[in-house]
Amino acid sequence: MDAEAIKMLAAGLAIGLGALGPGIGIGILGYGAMQGLARNPEARGPIMTNMILAIAMAEAIGIYALIVAIILAMIA
Amino acid sequence: MAEPKRRGCLGCSFPVLIIIVIIALAIVILGFLAGPIGSKLVGEMEWLSWMTVQSPEPHLPAPVLFHILGLPITNTVLAGWITVIFLVIFSWVITRRMKLVPGRLQTAFEFLLGWMFDLCKSIAGEENGRRFFPVVCTIFLFVLFNAWLSLIPGFGSIEIAVHGHHYELLRGSNTDVNTPLAIALVSFIFVIFFGLKDARMGFVKQYLNFGRFFRSTGRIFKGKFEPIEIFSGAIDIFVGGLEVLSLLIRNVSFTFRLFGNMTAGEILLLIAAFLVPWVLALPFYGLELLVGFVQALIFAGLTLVFVTMAVSPHEGEAH
């Protein structure tokens, strides 16, 4: 494999593996929020706000992987 | 009084609706065929030059357009200035003639600000929310309108030639890593300022917690050797170090969250417009509207949460 192929492979692996963790995390968050909603439908507003905040925290980690992938694929 | 029965659908009569649907379908199919996927499937065809989109070449570092007093001015800085000017003029126009019974524009803005104000008060409490509101809402509005202004069609399509290269004249300010970093530093200083102002030593003690360690080591000279106290003092120092680390890493996380989301959105729109010209970018525009709003809300909301954490007394002070 030449360097270019390895670079592309690395970019794909970076975003693919980096999206795994946040995906699981967002799934767990959604699960928790849905359970909270089912038990307590009146608390819809605060649950939604906090869920979105927490999802953004989890998503940020995926975004790091995305930045690494973009840098690998386009700049490096 | 029964409403007169209207014929047609969506406000058009059926023949007009059918013509519109046919035109929309034709655009979808033509766009699909003109894009790279279609030409792979069907084979290369002759298209007019305005029907195809060139392969996008996104560049991460913002190009320098010109210098003012030796300071390099990039296209993202220009877009940031435009956002600020837009916000100032917008606010001036709205607040120029405020009425007790607000007009349409005033209602919209009052709703936005009132919603943000309620959020501040619900998280930080009545009095603190009032104090934190200006900075938090400024961050919110700047990030939000930055993201939304760069979605206006034609925003990024004005090109300018600098040293033989063609660059966009304007590019969303959040897609340059420096702007999110600057906003993150503003929020960092804001948190530290209010932490020091309100919680004073309590805020410093969170990060530099030498008290117990020195007290217990001092007691050795008085003949009381308490290894467990010394050990938990050392753990206090270590925890303080971790807190300092998390305080600093917060900036990196703030920066890259906003930068990554906005840049990824921009590149996503470029790629979507390249794959299927005209059509595929439209749903992603809707997505980007949502992402811009959520990112602005998160930036402002996290700043608010951190500053609330900084000013409120911690359980560590209790004992």
How many CA within 13 A on the CB side of residue B172? 32
Alpha-carbon separation of residue A30 from A25, A36, B90, B217, B231 (angstroms)? 9, 10, 38, 49, 41
pLDDT tens per residue, range B198-253: 877 878 887 887 878 888 888 888 877 778 888 888 888 888 888 888 888 888 88
B202 belongs to a structural domain: yes
- Kindly indicate the confidence band of residue B96, based on its pLDDT and cuts at 50, 70 and 90: confident
- The structural domains of chain A, with segments of one domain joined by +, span 3-75
Predicted confidence (pLDDT) per residue in A34-47, tens digit: 999 999 999 888 88
Cα B176 to Cα B76: distance, rounded to the nearest angstrom: 6
Q: Which of A18, A48, A10 minimizes the C-alpha distance to A30?
A: A48
In a domain, B71, yes or no: no
- Asked if CATH classification 3.40.630.30 holds for the domain at A3-75, the reply, yes or no, is no
Answer yes or no: is B14 within a domain.
no
Inside any domain, residue B277: yes
pTM of the model as a whole = 0.81
Integer Rg of chain B from CA: 28
Task: Answer whether A74 sits within 8 Å of B260, measured CB to CB.
Answer: no
Question: Mind telling me how many Å the CA of A24 is from chain B's nearest CA?
Answer: 18
Indicate the residue of A53, A63, A74 with minimum beta-carbon distance to B264.
A63
Q: What is the DSSP string of B83-122?
A: HHHHHHHHHHHHHHT--SS--HHHHHHHHHHHHHHHHHHH
The reply to whether B227 falls in a domain is yes
Residue A71 half-sphere exposure, CB side, CA atoms within 13 Å? 9
In a domain, B70, yes or no: no
Q: Do A52 and B294 touch (CB under 8 A)?
A: yes
Q: Is residue B5 part of a domain?
A: no
* ipTM greater than cut 0.95: no
Flag if A63 and B260 touch (Cβ within 8 Å): yes
State which H helix or E strand residue A50 sits in. helix A44-70
Assess B301–A contact: CB distance below 8 Å, yes or no.
yes
Domain tally, chain B: 1
Contact B139, B303 (CB under 8 A): yes
Q: Which residues of B touch A67 (CB under 8 A)?
A: 256, 259-260, 263
Q: Which domain covers residue B188, as residue numbers? A: 89-317
Q: How far apart are CA B248 and CA B252, in angstroms?
A: 7
